[in-house]
Amino acid sequence: MAAYLRFRVELMAIKPRIFRTFLITVDATFSDLHKAIVDAGPWGSGHSFCFACPGEGQSLIEPDGDEMSAGALVADACPLTAYFGNPTNRSLIYTYDLSERWQHCVTLEETVQERARFRRRLIAGARAFPKADMGGIDRYRELVAIAKGTAPDTPRTRNCRHRLRGWDPEFFDLAIQQEIFDED
Number of structural domains found in the chain: 1
Q: Is residue 144 part of a domain?
A: no
Going 116 to 17 to 49 to 57, the CA torsion angle's sign is: negative
Output the pLDDT for position 90.
94
| CATH for 51 | 3.10.290.30
6 CB neighbour count, 10 Å cutoff: 17
Q: pLDDT tens-digit profile of 5-20?
A: 999 999 999 999 999 9
Q: What is the pLDDT of residue 31?
A: 93
Provide the whole-model pTM: 0.89
Structural domain boundaries, residue 76: 2-130+168-181
Residue 156 lies in a domain: no
Which tens digits make up the pLDDT trace of 117-176? 999 999 999 998 887 777 788 888 888 888 888 888 888 888 888 778 777 889 999 999
**Statement: residue 113 has pLDDT above 80:** yes
Residue ranges in the chain assigned as alpha helix (H): 30-40, 81-84, 137-148, 155-164, 174-181
DSSP 8-state assignment for residue 64: S
Evaluate the CA torsion angle 18, 125, 91, 131 in order and state its sign. Answer: negative
How many CB atoms within 10 Å of residue 153? 10
